[in-house]
Amino acid sequence: MAGPVTVESTAIALGLAQIRVALAATHIDKNTRQLTASDSIGSLASTKFTSEVEFFRHESGFPLLEDVTIPLREKAMLECAFEELTPANMALAQGKDLTTYSAAHSGEIALGALATPTNLRMEAVYTYPDGTNTMNIIFPRAQVSASPEIDLQKEDAVAVTVVFESKQADSNNSAGSSAWDGRPLGSIQFLSA
């Protein structure tokens, strides 16, 4: 048989992850999934994980040939677009503490009051179509960077994009924990039911 053939059909990914958010300090010393569905930011239009690595490439000789590649830095990000336009989600998009908002239709978001984004714990829980296996992306200490745009449409739900950027969470950072030594930006954990 020619071409790629499925090796494990239960590993086919289809659908979106659930995004769960809490304050980072609450669970910084835990390196497994801690948040529950009640910590979810709600319905989403999209979820996308990115791991960006920059490399130094050394060349020598004549003509020059590459002889080594050395990683310089890594960034981990999760971009999502939420559909539920609540005070908590708008506070999140502004980098503020979303946990201070509990009502779906009551609250105020101050504009022009810029400050360093709140340290958050972000857990993206993706459940495979089999309904039992999961992939969990954990950023123990993340900050949201966004320039929120609310594009209201006549016959389509809003989708406000935010980006969770993982920040150093190991014992080398005063806001971190030794629970994250060896994985300072977090981890991707696969769990089989």
Amino acid identity at 70: I
pLDDT in tens, 126-163: 999 999 999 999 999 999 988 999 999 999 999 999 99
Instruction: Please choose, from the candidates 39, 11, 185, 24, the residue with its C-alpha nearest in 3D space to the C-alpha of residue 125.
Output: 39
100: in domain: yes
4: in domain: no
Under 8 Å between Cβ of 143 and 165: yes
- Measured from the Cβ of residue 102, the count of other Cβ atoms closer than 10 Å reads 11
Backbone region of residue 153 per phi and psi (left: phi > 0; alpha: psi in -120 to 50; beta: other values): beta
Confidence at residue 16, expressed as pLDDT on a 0 to 100 scale:
96
- Per the DSSP assignment, residues forming a β-bridge with 142 are 120, 166
pLDDT in tens, 39-84: 999 999 999 999 999 999 999 999 999 999 999 999 999 999 999 9
Note down the domain range covering 104: 11-191
Average pLDDT, the chain: 95
Question: Which of 98-102, 168-172, 183-187 is predicted least confidently?
Answer: 98-102
Residue 156: CATH number of its domain: 2.30.110
50: in domain: yes
Cβ neighbours for 113, distance < 8 A, ≥ 6 positions apart: none
3: in domain: no
55: in domain: yes
1: in domain: no
**Within the chain, where are the H helices?**
24-27, 87-93
Domain count, the chain: 1
2: in domain: no
